[in-house]
Amino acid sequence: MSDERVERRLAAVLAADVAGYSRLMGADEEGTLARLKAVRKGFVDSAVTSHRGRIVKTTGDGMLVEFASAVDAVRSAIEMQRRMAEQNAAVPQDKRIEFRVGIHVGDIIIDDSDIFGDGVNIAARLEGIAEPGGVCISGAAYDQVRDKVPFSFVDLGNQTLKNIARPVSVYSIAAREMTRSEETIGQPNAASPEVHDRSDTPASVHSAGERGTRPSLAVLPFDNLSHDTEMEGFCDGLVEDAITALSKFRWLNVVSRNSSFAQKGRSVDIRRIARDLGVRFVLEGSVRKVGTRIRITAQLIDGVSGNHIWADRYDRDYSAAFDLQDEIVRDIVASLEYTLWITLVRGDVGAPNSASSPLRAAGWHIAECTHTGNRIAIACATRALEANPKSVAAYQYLANAYIVELMTGWTEDQADAGLLLEAARKATSLSPGDHLSQGLHAVGLAFVGNHDEALAYARRALALNSNSITVLGPCGNVLSFVGETREANEMLERMLRLAPAHYFRAGFLSQMALNWLCLGDPERGSPLVSEALKLKPEAICCHITHAKISASLGRHETAQAAISAVYRCRPDINRSLINVMFPHRDRSIPSQLAGLLGIT
């Protein structure tokens, strides 16, 4: 019997390799090796060492890493994948280096500096089933990190792994974590990990907006918690009106009233109801009345995972029932529209492949709200139109991207105003009754100086659907441009209340701040533009508005700092660009802003 004792310890093991390594080497051996070496030196090694990991060994296309903590292992993997995704953004798909990562917590055997055992083998098998750019962890690792990291997880259930005797519980880290900015980690509402079930995910989540794969929604009868027969009618009316209002959104499939009301009184899991009705999303709620006060709650639930996506509560006086019903329906529907859209284009599936899903990729990049993102969105929407020249959604995405480019001052060519109008015109001609197309058309007309017609289109969009966030935003801007500043601010304020995390929040806040300045109340605009700058410090329009408001309040040092920031962001700023950014009917507005910047 040997006196030699085998050294063991419990560890978190991370295994990583490069997806499609053989293909990459076959296409460009020297270039692939050089890029891989640069990636490791640039951030992979530091992502390991900064989280107290030890690189046990590296192979041609992968590496094995040991951590004392599963939390450190997961954080290291996320940092590695996020940095890799950022670097790949401008790289053609066939040349991208994408890692697959597996993490397991288990017993390992130490032999000199190497490690062996099931702890290593399971991590390697998990890496093998991870998607390129993704991370899979075992149930043992998940038990160690749950409630300790602000990341979302997808429950993949028990998986049979090659040469592993028993099935292993597996979780993948949601793909959106690879694209979240580091600043959002640890923010409120991200303190505990969500777990999603990936089974039976409908195609709509992968190609939002495509005909035949539109997201589906059921509005269930609201629960009457007051047990008052009068409130029963109020609850039913609320649901009927919500179904009618939601049916106006052309990109959304809403289950009929009869199918929804057939679920009344059913006490079963929401996921079961979603399967029975064939929908991805379910809206449910309750109504409670005490004296003259009424409380209405509403929740949007993912019918696949059972997780809450959105929820709100409305406390009101119960007097004029119909007016109250209309008000609540307006707010619920407007909030749902944006929540559903952002969930579908920025959900768990992460950045889409623009070649396979150009329309969804366009929406995904628009929601990034960056100059680079907008330009990619324009290219993706153009590609979608090559496949389907009658795609209303593609023209709308084009128009949206151009609007943000023009308003922020990121545009590289002032001809973008004409391209915006052309895209909006085509969307309107293809779908004249679509409220978003009408609203975008209104903005396009304002940017080319046709303010009267712009106002007419804005009023038409609001008449078609005043419950739409996508109408309130563009029409609020048009009202600002034509001089209806007080009404504009009321509209934009309501829009941001209903969609507080809107991707273009900074632009709308900056517009509201400028409106307050035009109304002679710059003090009210000051905190708005300050918030806008925190959200989008690269947006030139925010710095210009900040400079003007600060100067009008006598804060000359702050104004000068803002002017300097304008020139840092856009050294080539000129009067023509300012005229494009601020297409107001009152031409003294861009003229004064140009003068403040010292532009003649």
Mean pLDDT across 316-323: 82
Alpha-carbon span 481 to 403, nearest angstrom: 13
Is residue 126 predicted with pLDDT exceeding 60?
A: yes
Mean pLDDT rounded to a whole number for the chain: 85
What would the pLDDT profile of 152-182 be if each residue is shown by its tens digit?
A: 777 777 787 888 888 888 888 755 556 554 4
Tell me phi and psi for residue 547, to 5 degrees: -65, -45
Alpha-carbon span 547 to 559, nearest angstrom: 4
Identical fold between 351-503 and 504-600: yes
What would the pLDDT profile of 59-91 be if each residue is shown by its tens digit?
A: 878 899 999 999 999 999 999 988 888 888 777
Tell me phi and psi for residue 8, to 5 degrees: -125, 155
Are 51 and 66 in contact by the 8 Å Cβ rule? The answer is: no
DSSP secondary structure, 386-452, as one string? HH-TT-HHHHHHHHHHHHHHHHHT--S-TTHHHHHHHHHHHHHHH-TT-HHHHHHHHHHHHHTT-HH
Alpha-carbon span 332 to 298, nearest angstrom: 8
- Architecture of the domain made up of 204-333: 3-Layer(aba) Sandwich (3.40)
Give residue limits of the domains in the chain.
7-198, 204-333, 351-503, 504-600
Lowest mean pLDDT among 210-214, 231-235, 318-322: 210-214
Are 424 and 400 in contact by the 8 Å Cβ rule? The answer is: no
> Which CATH class for the 504-600 domain?
mainly alpha
Q: What is the pTM of this model?
A: 0.63
Is residue 563 predicted with pLDDT exceeding 90?
A: yes
Smallest CA-to-CA distance from 173 within 105, 89, 77 is with 77
The pair of structure tokens assigned to 83 is 């940095």
Q: Which residue has the higher pLDDT, 291 or 460?
A: 460
DSSP secondary structure, 259-299, as one string? HHHTTTT--S-HHHHHHHHT-SEEEEEEEEEETTEEEEEEE
Mean pLDDT across 554-574: 95
Lowest mean pLDDT among 110-119, 127-136, 162-171, 174-183: 174-183
Are 592 and 586 in contact by the 8 Å Cβ rule? The answer is: no
> Which CATH class for the 7-198 domain?
alpha beta
What would the pLDDT profile of 8-31 be if each residue is shown by its tens digit?
A: 888 999 999 988 788 888 888 888
Q: For strands 168-173 and 135-138, give the pairing.
A: antiparallel
Q: Could you identify the residue written with the tokens 């003007």?
A: 548
Residue 198's pLDDT band (boundaries 50, 70, 90)? very low
Tell me phi and psi for residue 316, to 5 degrees: -140, 165
Alpha-carbon span 188 to 500, nearest angstrom: 14
Are 394 and 363 in contact by the 8 Å Cβ rule? The answer is: no
Alpha-carbon span 527 to 532, nearest angstrom: 9
> In the CATH scheme, what is the homologous superfamily, with its name and number, of domain 351-503?
Tetratricopeptide repeat domain (1.25.40.10)
Is residue 204 predicted with pLDDT exceeding 50?
A: no
Q: For strands 223-224 and 281-290, give the pairing.
A: parallel
Tell me phi and psi for residue 221, to 5 degrees: -55, 135
Q: Which residue has the higher pLDDT, 68 or 134?
A: 68
pLDDT cut 70: percent of the chain above it: 90
Alpha-carbon span 114 to 108, nearest angstrom: 10
Smallest CA-to-CA distance from 98 within 122, 74, 80 is with 80
